[in-house]
Amino acid sequence: MRDANIRGEKLTGWQEPDAGVCCKTNAAGENHITQLAFALNNLDGPLPDLSPLVELDNLSACGNNITGAFPAFPPSIKTLRMYTNHMSGEIPAAISALTSMKFMSLGDNDFTGPTPDLSALSSMTDLYLDCNHLSGAVTNATNWGSYTGKCFLDASTLLEKCSKPTDNTFSCPLPANAKKTCHATCK
């Protein structure tokens, strides 16, 4: 196995960081897909419902041309790298059921609407929602100060710039920790 860096994130334990499928065999002798890595592979179109992949814990499909709405994922998902695509619509409220999530990068897409309530995702350490079209109030229900890694709600302090000319526009006031910990700004 080897390590790789994509957008400054260290990926460990991947057989092939940019393309590949990893599986494991459970105690009953059943094979399950645990990782899908398709970053930078010119994928085009929407993702299917991935919830039947009950052991999937890592998905890396950043830097493609993935379109459509946010798909359903199994509760086992821990790492989700979907940045720099063309996904659209609102980030669904069902995301709050993904309580195993530790790392979620949905930045640089075309998501709209409010920030989702992520308060149930107590294992989350890193969150990237920057470079979308999210707007409105940032919910106080989310514990924005709990992130131990990196958190960006907009690109106001990122060294990298959004690939499109717009970014999230949040209403003021922001929860104190959202501004401090997640580098958010409001208008």
pLDDT by residue (tens digit) across 20-64? 888 888 888 989 999 999 988 889 999 999 999 999 999 999 999
Share of the chain above pLDDT 70, in %: 84
pLDDT digits over 76-88, tens only? Answer: 999 999 999 999 9
pLDDT for residue 115 is more than 70? yes
Fold of 2-181: 3.80.10
Q: Which residue has the higher pLDDT, 55 or 116?
A: 55
**Per-residue model confidence (pLDDT) at position 158:** 59
How far is Cα 181 from Cα 153, in angstroms, rounded to an integer? 10
How far is Cα 149 from Cα 131, in angstroms, rounded to an integer? 19
| Start-to-end CA span in the chain (Å) | 46
**Per-residue model confidence (pLDDT) at position 157:** 64
**Per-residue model confidence (pLDDT) at position 121:** 87
**Per-residue model confidence (pLDDT) at position 3:** 35
Mean of per-residue pLDDT scores for the chain: 83
Domain map (residue ranges) of the chain: 2-181
